[in-house]
């Protein structure tokens, strides 16, 4: 089939998926499309990368300077999001007040620009990170935040997954790459590498599983069969993409997240959530105390105990001299002489530590790690509270929180515009209840901020 014909057919298919998943009863602001565009660019590639073929990163200087076209596009999206939030001042204010820990983290990130060796670069990257927060708030301050959350993830998934199939099959210059020296084919899809394709499959897989089960359990939904067909189709696509991506981290996290989502959807009691969380923690400690068990699990996933060279990178970066309390500044470790040294040592030119917690320590020191841990703790409390109030999105948020925790053990995902970082913010943020004067008029809401904002609770059968 000619690529242009395939492109047209896939475009029709994407429109069809959105049509099947339509919900005419729930109204959301058109501004959600700006968040969809942001999430799509974060999960795939910047516009400048789409406009060129071949190598996307040549030198440390190019990595340092960035691209003016990308800055213009992303800055425009951030400005629009901020304008929308200013037009929602009461809701925006209550949301910020409810999430002081996250706000404190971003303030500290901005402060860390001061001691960065490259303050201008660090400031630009912090601005992108602020865009993540702005887009998350844009969705959560919608008049119907529950529907906005679903539509953001569903629409983005309907773009990322089919387009990845399209470029792999019909546009190999974009959808495939080759590993250095071995020249083995690496399937990337719309992302820039196979790990990026893996995280697309991970997040979109959890989204489609959540929305599929939500539609299955809601017998009264008007478009129940259409929604199930749309998300079932996406899940089939994801299964094939995961096979091509060969990303063990994404596969393991998707399995863990799916199991949690299904178990907590069936029995969404806070006590069940706490027991499952304790079981996961005990399992992690067991693997740490008994390394042979850990090695067996890694071999089962088709990887070496050194996690394909990741442990070598960890040892090298931790030996470098940095301020242990403050770090090198926001997103500043992989700049200058440090990145030049690492690139001279590793032929694949790493630009991350392949561990989110080590990466956080390198950039923001122990203070940054502490603030990150605080976000996890507060976020878990918010998720348990969501289960306590029988909120329909609670199982999905728990799955995102857990997979973000596990995923960052082998990949650094707490980075600028990384889709896992954006998903993590959705998982941990608390959305305020309605003001006291409006409380009596609200009967069944998850994240209410006006009398019009309601979300269905978990079905009584759960």
pLDDT at position 127 is 95
Cβ atoms of residues 314 and 355 within 8 Å: yes
β partners of residue 391: 457
d(CA 54, CA 49): 9
pLDDT at position 434 is 46
Helix axes 89-98, 68-86, angle to 10 degrees: 100
Q: Which two tokens stand for residue 306?
A: 């050194």
Q: Where are the beta strands (DSSP E) in 185-287?
A: 185-187
Q: pLDDT below 70 — which residues of the chain?
A: 53-66, 180-182, 268, 284-308, 432-462
Q: Where are the domains of the chain?
A: 3-441
Q: Per residue, what are the HEC states of 152-178?
A: HHHHHHHHHHHHHHHHHHHCHHHHEEE
* pTM (predicted TM-score): 0.88
Q: Which two tokens stand for residue 195?
A: 């790990």
pLDDT tens-digit profile of 20-72? 998 888 889 999 999 999 999 999 988 888 877 654 555 555 556 667 888 89
The SS3 of residue 391 is: strand
pLDDT at position 440 is 36
Alpha-carbon separation of residue 51 from 45, 55, 330, 338, 434 (angstroms): 10, 12, 29, 30, 46
What's the number of CA atoms in the CB half-sphere (13 Å) around residue 348?
16
CA angle (146 as vertex; 141, 147 as ends), nearest 5: 100
The SS3 of residue 87 is: coil
Radius of gyration of the chain (CA): 22
Cβ atoms of residues 66 and 123 within 8 Å: no
pLDDT at position 350 is 87
pLDDT at position 364 is 97
d(CA 29, CA 15): 19
Q: Which two tokens stand for residue 323?
A: 């301020």
pLDDT at position 460 is 35
pLDDT at position 165 is 96
d(CA 140, CA 450): 12
Give me the residue label for tokens 């690139």. 343
pLDDT at position 449 is 38
pLDDT at position 94 is 92
β partners of residue 186: 177
């Amino acid at each position: 089939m000619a690529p242009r014909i395939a492109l047209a057919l896939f475009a029709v298919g994407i429109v069809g998926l959105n049509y099947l998943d339509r919900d005419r009863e729930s109204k959301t602001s058109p501004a959600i499309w700006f968040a969809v565009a942001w999430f799509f660019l974060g999960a795939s590639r910047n516009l400048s990368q789409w406009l060129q073929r071949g190598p996307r990163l040549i030198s440390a200087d190019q990595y340092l300077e960035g691209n003016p076209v990308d800055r213009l596009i992303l800055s425009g999206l951030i400005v629009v999001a901020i304008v929308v939030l200013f037009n929602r001042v009461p809701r925006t204010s209550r949301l910020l007040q409810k999430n002081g820990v996250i706000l404190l983290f971003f303030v500290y990130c901005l402060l860390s620009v001061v001691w960065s060796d490259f303050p201008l670069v660090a400031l630009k990257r912090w601005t992108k990170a602020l865009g993540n927060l702005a887009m998350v708030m844009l969705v959560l301050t919608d008049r119907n935040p529950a529907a906005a959350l679903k539509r953001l993830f569903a629409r983005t998934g309907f773009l990322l997954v089919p387009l990845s199939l399209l470029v792999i099959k019909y546009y190999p210059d974009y959808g495939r790459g080759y590993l250095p020296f071995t020249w083995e084919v690496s399937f990337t899809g719309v992302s820039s590498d196979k790990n990026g394709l893996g995280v697309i499959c991970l997040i979109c897989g959890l989204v489609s599983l959540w929305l599929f089960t939500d539609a299955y359990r809601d017998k009264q939904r008007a478009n129940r069969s259409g929604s199930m067909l749309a998300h079932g189709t996406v899940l089939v696509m994801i299964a094939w993409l995961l096979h091509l991506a060969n990303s063990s981290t994404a596969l393991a996290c998707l399995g863990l997240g799916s199991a949690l989502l299904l178990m907590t959807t069936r029995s969404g009691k806070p006590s069940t959530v706490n027991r499952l969380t304790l079981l996961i923690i005990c399992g992690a400690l067991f693997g740490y105390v008994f390394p042979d068990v850990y090695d067996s699990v890694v071999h089962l996933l088709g990887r070496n105990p050194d996690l394909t060279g990741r442990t070598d990178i960890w040892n090298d970066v931790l030996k470098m001299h940095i301020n242990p309390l403050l770090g090198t500044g926001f997103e500043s470790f992989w700049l200058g002489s440090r990145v030049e040294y690492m690139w001279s040592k590793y032929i694949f030119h790493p630009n991350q530590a392949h561990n989110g917690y080590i990466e956080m320590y390198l950039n923001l020191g122990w203070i940054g790690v502490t603030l990150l841990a605080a976000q996890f703790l507060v976020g878990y409390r918010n998720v348990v509270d969501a289960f306590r109030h029988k909120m329909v999105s609670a199982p999905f948020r728990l799955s995102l929180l857990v997979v973000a925790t596990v995923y960052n053990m082998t990949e650094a995902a707490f980075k600028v515009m990384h889709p896992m970082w954006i998903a993590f913010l959705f998982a941990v943020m608390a959305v305020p209840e309605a003001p006291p004067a409006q409380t009596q008029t609200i009967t069944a809401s998850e994240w209410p901020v006006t009398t019009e904002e309601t979300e269905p609770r978990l079905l009584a059968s759960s």
